[in-house]
Amino acid sequence: MATSKPKKAIVLGKRINMSLDERLLEAIGIQKITVKGSTGEEVEDEYNDKFGSKNSGVDVRYFIPDKEFFTPKGKPRKGDWLAEHRETGQTFKQYITGAYRGPCRRYNTMYLIPLVFKEDSVPKEVLSQLTKFAEIFFGMKVKLGKEREMLGRVKDRMNGDIYQAHAGNILDKLDINVPRDAFCVAGITMCDLYPKEEWNFVFGLARSPGKTGVYSLARYLSNFGEGSFTEINLDRDPLSTILVRACKTMCHEMGHMFGLRHCIHFDCLMNGSNHLDESDSRPSFLCPICLRKLQYVCKFDIIQRYRDMRDFWSENGLTEQKDWLERRLAKLTA
């Protein structure tokens, strides 16, 4: 017992003394090694994989935290998620040694289920594009299920003038009759959600890791709050704006079902969000840590995935996302 305490103190001290860059590399699971260049005077940086990328066939350069593309998470502002929720994050090592889930031969399909209470249904134009993007993002088969009427089937409330449905109760309903080949089932609705009485609202909720999740698009509309139930006006909210927000929230909540926790290391699609401005500020992409986790379980080709994502955003007229992907691809394929 006497010898165990100093050892623990040394380890903790080493982590505390790490620079930010060193901590980020540690979280990704790679290390930087400086070597002599061809002239013997120049120095070059190389990166080694602590978990054997040579054996997995994944090039470690995909996970290098290039500051041109990935920004370390800054100090949260008042009202932001991390200002109100104490989270320790999740390194790649913690992920692969913890309770993660991945597809297999038996459970290989993701289901997207539209849910309706009294509000407008999710537009078909949005649902078809969400299905397409989920297939690209996760590299899996995605099926769009039949719309389900949920009014009177789950706990609900009026929060001021806004009708809300209990997200946890919705998950309980989705847990029933899960398709045999389902890796996960994600409900999507225009109804506002809440997770427990003391919370004002939640954008989405998922079991992590688990098979069910639900998310709402209600608060992404400019007319939210003008009536008790959501009404869609595509003149005020262009389809492209709805699509960006819907794709972010869908992939974030589905990510939880693979066992990915909120990211605290970089600006990342897996960051938690407390309000619309914070949600909008999240990137549409995964940081190197979260990308490595998802690739570990889904086994997708990262370059082809980036190409397919680029084409998707280009087809939908989203230049910011398209431009990021083109620059990223140029860097990785140079």
Q: How far apart are CA 89 and CA 270, in angstroms?
A: 10
Q: How far apart are CA 72 and CA 271, in angstroms?
A: 12
3-state secondary structure of 287: coil
Q: How far apart are CA 159 and CA 72, in angstroms?
A: 36
Structure token digits, residue 256: 């939880």
Short-list 260, 278, 275, CA closest to 213: 260
User: What's phi and psi for 25, nearest 5 deg?
Assistant: -65, -40
Q: How far apart are CA 248 and CA 263, in angstroms?
A: 14
Residue 148 pairs in a beta bridge with 115
149 catalytic, yes or no? no
Catalytic residue (choose from 253, 315, 320, 326): 253
Identify the burial level of 9 via C-beta atoms within 10 angstroms of its C-beta, where 0-12 means exposed, 13-18 middle and 19 or more buried: exposed
Hey, which residues are catalytic here? 253
